[in-house]
Amino acid sequence: MADIAAELGVTDSRVSQLRSEALGLLRDGLNAHLDPALAAKPARDGCVARRRAAYYDRIQQRGTLQSRLAFTGADGLPVAA
């Protein structure tokens, strides 16, 4: 974390916050496609809620989970077009 913090010019604590937020977004993004009832609902309107909504919108614009999975093989690697 210290190396990442130094590279970004932020504190170790901020790197930890960013990591936590990224993992939450990833989890919620996957849940939104696998089981929408599990997706977190923002408790209030704020910076994090706006970033979360923007992230969900970008995921939605890229198609469905099934269409994205169609581009990977059984080994999880991209299928050549």
- Exposure class string for 6-21: b at 16+ Cβ within 10 A, else e: eeeeeeeeebeeeeee
Mean pLDDT of 69-74: 65
pTM, whole model, 2 decimals?
0.52
**Quick check: 81 pLDDT over 60?**
no
pLDDT tens figures, 21-66:
889 888 877 777 777 777 666 566 788 778 877 877 887 777 776 7
> Sign (positive/negative) of CA torsion 39, 21, 25, 42?
positive
pLDDT for position 49:
78
